[in-house]
Chain A
Amino acid sequence: MIVVEKLTKKYLNVEVLNIDELSIPKGQSFGLVGNNGAGKTTFFSLLLDLIRPTTGQIHSKGVRIDVSEDWKPFTSAFLDESFLIGYLTPEEYFAFIGKLRGLSKGEVAEFTSKFEGFFNDEILGKRKLLRDLSKGNQKKVGLIGALIGNPEVVILDEPFANLDPSTQIRLKQLIKSETQNTHTTFLISSHDLTHVTEVCDRIVVLEKGQVIKDLQTSPETLKELEKYFSEPLEG
């Protein structure tokens, strides 16, 4: 689904990302872990053509991301609050995204009504603007917004941060069922090793822009990751 080749990104001659080769097959839930500054958000921004690579390229379903825009119809993302439109209500926001993805208002409402439990009665039908919601509720809206219109690739930056425990558990179930039922490819970054090992089939550890580990998730993965991150960093 996604093929990365010789991708580097430099800011003022400081290399922040260098991925020689990485390919993510369709339907995989791909987890990205790494300490602050490891390059996770940079990588996701490159995947969305929000920043330009210094060298190399990314293909998504055969479309080269920094050249064509044809990846947009099947890709969606929620990186941060700049993916929300503050002056809309959640319903209006969902309807707007739905329209961009070719869904009618009714179809969007039907889709979002499935997440009433996830929203915990705090989001739909309250006529509150997104900018007035709490950080956690904003996040919920962004996450569900990223699922509208059956995207094939969903990119989520730290989806578990700021969420309450119930929602974290629901989100994990949601991601699992989506990958199983619709073969959506998820790319998820997280600082929470437990969550990410639970949800993802594969975990890549980034450090200072480099791929340090590439693991297929197994019962031992969590231990291995914890061991890796508790060791003092070299250099």
Chain B
Amino acid sequence: MQIADFFRLEWLQFIRAAYFQKSLALKILIGFLVLYFGGTAVLLGGVIYFIAKKSAPDVDPLVTVNNLLVIWVAVDLLLRYFLQQLPVLNVKPLMTLPVRRNKVVRFVLLKSLTSFFNILPLLLYIPFTVVLLANDYDPIQTLAWFFGMVSVSFSINFTNFLINKNNTFFYALLTIVALGVGLNFFSIFDPRVFAGQCFYAFFDKPYWVVAPILVMYLLYRTNKSLLLNGFYLDDMVSKKVTLAEDADLSWLKHFGPVAPFLENDIRLIRRNVRPRQVLLVSFMFLFYGLIFYTQDVYKEIPTILVFASIFVTGGFLMTFGQQVPSWDSQYYKLLMSQNIPYRQYLNAKWMLMVFGVLVSFLLSFPYLYFGWDIFAMIAAGALFNVGLNSFITLIGGALNRTPIVLNEKAKAFANTSGFNPTQLLIGLPKIFLPMLFFYIPYRLISFDAGLICIALSGLLGLAFRSQFLSLIERIYIKGKHKTIAAFAQES
């Protein structure tokens, strides 16, 4: 078996994946998305030189960019940690075939380099390098810098697998990061400046490029030996077995007939990787406001702030809610052959989403720092989320038939649920309705009138709760067989 054979298998896996065989519209949408992200990276790589030159005319733009790159590197690592998984499980069928372990492991690691996460930095660095060359930077130095940065990206790639698979590495990295933050806090040492200098060194003294390449190679070796040692069914290749913790959920019985569903949902979130990921993403949504409330530009256009406020409390509601029947896709046949009233099922999910909004709202109290206006806006947004957004999201979810593998991380671009055209269409009102509700009375009457209007829309939605649930119920009943068939397909 040659490396080429592996790639052939991978190619077949890629083009025959369930998500790839979906409708043309979906393929086009995915294509657009890839183009969008790729295009943004290329564009950024092309113009950042000039932006840097303009914002700091006295400094070499390469120095400015290098100082910024550490943020990119940090975000890169963070995103990878949550989204990128080493595809070791795929090697199981190869274990009994006459292929050397060494070869399989090498392939798994090399293949990981073709992930979108490694292509994206290339799309950024290549145009930037071209611009540098066009601006008469020394070709050898520039190329050294380019290879240095690519090695850094690939090192992150391998670091991610180490911290993902091995707690020792995870805590080691965490300690380093904490140390950096701490030293920065006491102004002893600025890791940002240090990283900037390191990156600039690749250019300044091109022989330094050996350092990141060496680091990359060492990380690769560590990964390789770790994988080789763990190349057994009961080790790396297998999934971890966890014992169920005995959380007392009996208090849920006060919720009556909805209780068994709530109980299940809580266990779903606690015991599976994917829902926990969603929980984390929704926590990050809490900080969404910081991006907008801190900018003076937006003070003049509060309609944009409404948008941010919806996201502050709506993170969990939207990320969990838009996949509502999909969470149960792995055992949907069971649910459909049991005596389950859709109403109770939906009610349980709705209550969970509302609970998510309430918790987010409580956690958003620190936004009081930005003043009452902002806080009132968040509160009004929370009401909109509870009363209207929850139902809109559930309708979107009902139309979403992408199965979810609960105990595996989401793969970037493997999960097409968010790109479902109908869902996108339904997603629009989530964003624009509250802005509209605010904008019209704000323009005609006042800021407060706008907020009241958002809040009222939420209350009105609550009043029509049972109508909304009936509507969603009908969608469920109508699409039942389609949903069962779609969920039966392995994603």
Contact = CB atoms under 8 A, between A and B. Distances in A.
B244 A83 contact: no
B407 A100 contact: no
In which size bucket is the chain B interface?
20 to 34
A127 B339 contact: no
A73 to B, nearest CB: 5
B194 to A, nearest CB: 44
Interface stretch (B11-19, B52-60, B267-275, B439-447): B267-275
A148 B484 CA distance: 24
A77 B339 CA distance: 12
A131 B333 contact: no
Given A51-B481, A96-B264, A127-B246, A83 B241 contact: no
A82 B333 contact: yes
Interface in B257-284: 259-260, 263-264, 267-268, 271-272
Nearest to B334: A83
B484 A131 contact: no
A86 B328 CA distance: 10
Nearest to A78: B334
Nearest to B336: A50
B301 interface: no
Contacts of B267: 87-88, 92
A127 B244 contact: yes
Interface in A158-179: none
A195 interface: no
A59 interface: no
A86 B407 contact: yes
Contacts of B295: none
Nearest to A126: B243
A132 interface: yes
B260 to A, nearest CB: 4
A79 interface: yes
A187 interface: no
A87 B337 contact: no
Interface string B460-491: 00000000000000000000110011011000
Contact of A97 (B268, B332, B333, B338): B338
Chain A CB count within 10 A is highest, among B241, B243, B337, for B337
A135 to B, nearest CB: 14
B398 interface: no
Contact of A86 (B241, B263, B331): B331
A69 B228 CA distance: 53
B242 interface: yes
A86 B330 contact: yes
A51 B484 contact: yes
Contact of A72 (B244, B332, B339, B485): B339
Given A99-B260, A131-B407, A82 B339 contact: no
Main secondary structure of the interface of B (DSSP, over half): helix
Contact of A84 (B264, B334, B481): B334
B339 A89 contact: no
Contact of B336 (A49, A73, A127): A49
| Residue in A48, A73, A82, A95 whose Cβ sees the most chain B Cβ within 10 Å | A82
A50 B338 CA distance: 11
B340 interface: yes
A79 B264 contact: no
A97 B243 CA distance: 21
Contacts of B62: none
Contacts of B488: 82
A77 B337 CA distance: 7
Interface in A86-107: 86-89, 92, 95-97, 99-101
A60 interface: no
Contacts of A82: 330-334, 487-488
B234 to A, nearest CB: 12
A191 B243 CA distance: 35
A161 to B, nearest CB: 18
B485 A51 contact: yes
A33 B336 CA distance: 25
23 contacts: A49-B337, A49-B480, A50-B336, A50-B484, A52-B481, A72-B338, A75-B337, A76-B337, A76-B338, A82-B330, A82-B332, A82-B487, A83-B331, A85-B331, A87-B407, A88-B267, A96-B264, A99-B259, A100-B340, A101-B338, A128-B241, A129-B241, A129-B271
**Closest 8 interchain pairs by CB?**
A72-B339, A87-B271, A83-B334, A99-B260, A132-B241, A48-B337, A82-B333, A89-B244
Given A96-B264, A99-B259, A100-B340, 4 more contacts: A48-B337, A73-B339, A100-B260, A131-B407
